[in-house]
Amino acid sequence: MENNIIETILSNWVQTGFTKAFPDLDTETLQAIDVSAATDERFGDYQCNAAMGLARALRMAPRAIAEQAVAALPEQDWVQSTEIAGAGFINITLNPERLADHLMGIEDHAQLGVPAFGQDRTVVIDYSSPNVAKPMHIGHIRSTVIGNALDRLHRFLGYRVLADNHLGDWGTQFGLLILGYHHFVDQDALAQHPVEELERIYVKSYERSQSDAEWLDQARRELVKLQQGDPAHQELWQQFVELSLQEFDKIYTRLGVRFDLVRGESFYRDRFADIIATLQKVGLAEESEGAQIVRLEDDGLDVCIVQKRDGGYNYATSDLATVQQRIEEFQPDTIIYVTDERQQLHFKQFFTIADKLGWQTELVHVWFGLMRLPEATFSTRQGNVIRLERLLDEAESRALEIVKQSSPDMPEAQQLVVARAVGIGAIKYADLSQNPQSLVTFTWDKAMAMDGNSAPYLQYAYARIASVRDKYGERFPGQDPRQFPLSLKEEAELRLAKRLLRFPSVVLRATQLYRPSILADYLYDLAQTYSSFYQNLPFLKAEEGVRESRIRLCGLTARTLRTGLELLGIETPDRI
RNA sequence: GCUCCCGUAGCUCAGCUGGAUAGAGCAUCGGAUUUCUAAUCCGACGGUCGCAGGUUCGAAUCCUGCCGGGGGCGCCA
């Protein structure tokens, strides 16, 4: 697998120096020596901190180690100079001409220098996964947006990706829902706003079950009838599923989210009994108080119930069946689940069981903090949810106001298109730009920030470049900037070029750590560097040659911004 | 009781596979537009990195304990 990103090139290079200077070091130690981006621009571009760590083993002063290693380094055209600083840091400054050559080389490269790291690997990504018959609310946005970014990142790296929307379509809510439907349904409302009506029915039925034991019992019987295949119940259930899917699809279209598979838990139901039988056969499952449980105390986990006393199956069983199906059908190397933090224990449990069954696929749980409201946790039952639909509407209308203000001459149809891209982008970026593992309190203003570190800032930077490109075409018709070389003389040009060089390692890291925020951070930094470059250096008014070089740099920045934002699922209009 | 996560500037957060003087945005204050989109740029102000120990040449980052907040823990998903 080709992996020619700059850190790898420099790490290999520095390793040769250490190998030559200290031939007694074992291979493992040598291979651990690496080069990373400098922590501060004043130190250079890249740095190697290995000398300090080797001081004890080599019984030498770190600076002396660094000096000997540097002295043993072969020529490297990427490197302009090395310097030993502080306690024994090896600071590396890149050669601007080599950098310019490299950037000219990737101008036509669709991947902008990113290697096909995931070639021949398959990954299933299980995300979004709303429950049928309940509207999508702000609690679903993070799984959908983060999952979709991971989906795009993996595809970009060449993985074969199966994005799977694992709908909650077989849970206990259907007993209450079917019972409620028979008593409370308003057919007109169902035709008008299907999911809202289903939710109303569910909430009403749930409330009654809290005070009416007979009602709850009846709901259980309805569920059993459904799960045993009663035709009338099946038909009704099918209708609930279809109505919900239509609603979900509207949201997914607006968010630009697309799945390869949309399979609910019900898809796997024929496997549930076999899973229990298998667990019993290998001695993992045992009976306790009438239920089937798997004891995981030795693994530091609690008991996991796999089958209820009444014969019903639990989530763990359904998830195990799903893994089994995916292994048989797709042979994935990895299955990634994107859910909120409350399910951590559940995933640890069923991952452990899968491991005990000898299933080889790597299982990864990417979790994020729960979204809360300033006053309290939201919940469907308490009725204080903020619907996703409303959130998206609000974002678009806020964006539209700003667009109208700043681009009053833009045709109205275009204003709407821009407002959609900006509004939805802002929402997505708000979720993608921070480490997901912290609890998030939802506020409208925060979710839709339109200045500073936000999607609109990045989109604005992109639109300015598009405008420069167009103006260049108008003023210098027929002129091709590529007739002139990319030349990096000014500090602002160099800084920008060095940022562009980092894109591949950033994409790789964001994917491998399952953290789109790493890419978001980078893009913001890139846009800031560009904005400063834009503000401080003339392009169109610069002399011929310099002008073209800067236009080329603009072009690369535009492509990097567009590609990066696309990986986050954020659109980049040419005008905003 | 057991367990997982969070605690960094007034507010919202990066940084946490250990590295040099801890960084952004917002807010506040000051400056920049006859010039390529000012949703911008340049600058200032602002910090006991929750507390206390420990490991290390070096700790916001790793370990232990404590405090504060949130989540989870046998028939929900």
Whole-angstrom Cα distance, residue A322 to residue A510? Answer: 27
Whether the Cβ atoms of residue A221 and residue A233 lie closer than 8 Å to each other: no
**Residue A370: CB less than 7 A from any atom in strand B:** yes
Q: What percent of chain A has pLDDT over 90?
A: 78
pLDDT computed for residue A556 by the predictor? 97
Instruction: Provide the b/e sequence for A483-508 (b: ≥16 CB within 10 Å).
Output: ebebbbeeebbbebbbbbbbbbbbbb
- Residue A185 CA distance to nucleotide B5 C1' (Å): 42
pLDDT computed for residue A1 by the predictor? 34
A370 by Cβ neighbours in 10 Å (0-12 / 13-18 / 19+) ranks as: middle
- If pLDDT is split at 50, 70 and 90, which confidence band does A434 have? confident
Whether the Cβ atoms of residue A117 and residue A508 lie closer than 8 Å to each other: yes
pLDDT surpassing 70 at residue A301: yes
* Residues of A 145-204 whose CB lies less than 7 Å from any atom of strand B: 168, 171-172
pLDDT computed for residue A447 by the predictor? 79
A221: which 2 tokens? 């019987």
A36: which 2 tokens? 């990373």
**Residue A277: CB less than 7 A from any atom in strand B:** no
pLDDT computed for residue A104 by the predictor? 97
Q: Which range has the worst mean pLDDT, A26-30, A208-212, A321-325?
A: A208-212
Strand, helix or coil at A126? strand
Residue A300 is classified by DSSP as: T
Instruction: Give, as ranges, the nucleotides of chain B with any atom within 7 Å of a protein CB.
Output: 3-7, 12-17, 19-21, 23-26, 35-42, 57-58, 69-77
The whole-number average pLDDT for the span A7-31 is: 94
- Residue A438 CA distance to nucleotide B5 C1' (Å): 7
Whole-angstrom Cα distance, residue A370 to residue A381? Answer: 17
What are the Cα distances from residue A296, in Å, to A153, A191, A277, A518?
Answer: 35, 48, 18, 35
Residue A574 is classified by DSSP as: S
Residue whose CA is minimally distant from B37 C1': A464
User: Tens of pLDDT along A435-478?
Assistant: 877 777 777 788 788 889 999 999 999 999 999 999 999 999 99
For A210, residues 6+ apart whose C-beta sits below 8 A from its C-beta are: none
Residue A137 is classified by DSSP as: B
Number of C-beta neighbours around residue A172 at 10 A: 12
User: Tens of pLDDT along A381-411?
Assistant: 555 678 899 999 999 999 999 999 889 999 9
Whether the Cβ atoms of residue A132 and residue A167 lie closer than 8 Å to each other: yes
Phi, psi of A79 (to 5 degrees): -105, 130
C-alpha dihedral (A447, A452, A454, A457), degrees to nearest 10 = 140
Whether the Cβ atoms of residue A370 and residue A341 lie closer than 8 Å to each other: yes
* Residues of A 199-228 whose CB lies less than 7 Å from any atom of strand B: none
Mean pLDDT of chain A: 92
Whole-angstrom Cα distance, residue A144 to residue A137? Answer: 11
What are the Cα distances from residue A564, in Å, to A172, A257, A570, A576?
Answer: 41, 16, 9, 18
**Residue A346: CB less than 7 A from any atom in strand B:** yes
Whole-angstrom Cα distance, residue A266 to residue A426? Answer: 35
Whole-angstrom Cα distance, residue A97 to residue A353? Answer: 55
pLDDT surpassing 70 at residue A379: no
- Residue A83 CA distance to nucleotide B56 C1' (Å): 25
What is the assigned CATH class of domain A395-567? mainly alpha
pLDDT computed for residue A143 by the predictor? 94
How far from chain centre, in Å, is Cα A328?
26
Instruction: Provide the b/e sequence for A462-472 (b: ≥16 CB within 10 Å).
Output: bbbbbebbeeb
User: Tens of pLDDT along A159-212?
Assistant: 999 999 999 998 888 999 999 999 999 999 999 999 889 989 988 998 888 888
- H helical segments located in A383-452: 388-406, 412-432, 444-447
Instruction: Give the closest residue to A464 by CA, choosing from A544, A558, A400, A542.
Output: A558
**Residue A136: CB less than 7 A from any atom in strand B:** no
Residue A73 is classified by DSSP as: P
Strand A122-126 relative to strand A261-262, pairing: unpaired
| Dihedral sign for Cα atoms in the order A146, A150, A153, A156 | negative
Measure the CA angle with vertex A291, ends A285 and A296; round to 5°. 40
Whole-angstrom Cα distance, residue A386 to residue A274? Answer: 40
pLDDT surpassing 80 at residue A87: yes
Closest-lying nucleotide for A367 based on CA to C1':
B5
A362: which 2 tokens? 């790597």
What is the assigned CATH class of domain A6-94? alpha beta
Instruction: Name the fold adopted by A122-281+310-372.
Output: Rossmann fold (3.40.50)
The whole-number average pLDDT for the span A147-169 is: 97
pLDDT computed for residue A380 by the predictor? 52
pLDDT computed for residue A549 by the predictor? 96
Closest-lying nucleotide for A471 based on CA to C1':
B36
List chain A domain ranges.
6-94, 122-281+310-372, 395-567
Number of C-beta neighbours around residue A228 at 10 A: 9
For A263, residues 6+ apart whose C-beta sits below 8 A from its C-beta are: A164, A165, A166, A167
A56 by Cβ neighbours in 10 Å (0-12 / 13-18 / 19+) ranks as: exposed
**Residue A87: CB less than 7 A from any atom in strand B:** yes
- H helical segments located in A185-288: 187-192, 194-211, 213-227, 231-255, 272-281
- Residue A329 CA distance to nucleotide B73 C1' (Å): 34
Q: What percent of chain A has pLDDT over 70?
A: 98
Strand, helix or coil at A288? strand
Residue with tokens 């797709």: A330
Whole-angstrom Cα distance, residue A166 to residue A148? Answer: 14
Whether the Cβ atoms of residue A419 and residue A350 lie closer than 8 Å to each other: no
pLDDT computed for residue A500 by the predictor? 97
pLDDT surpassing 60 at residue A378: no
Closest-lying nucleotide for A453 based on CA to C1':
B25
User: Tens of pLDDT along A43-77?
Assistant: 999 999 999 999 988 999 999 999 999 999 999 99
Residue whose CA is minimally distant from B6 C1': A438
**Residue A314: CB less than 7 A from any atom in strand B:** yes
Strand, helix or coil at A438? coil
Residue A272 is classified by DSSP as: H
The whole-number average pLDDT for the span A329-358 is: 95
Strand, helix or coil at A23? coil
Closest-lying nucleotide for A317 based on CA to C1':
B77
- If pLDDT is split at 50, 70 and 90, which confidence band does A419 have? very high
pLDDT computed for residue A2 by the predictor? 46
The whole-number average pLDDT for the span A506-526 is: 95
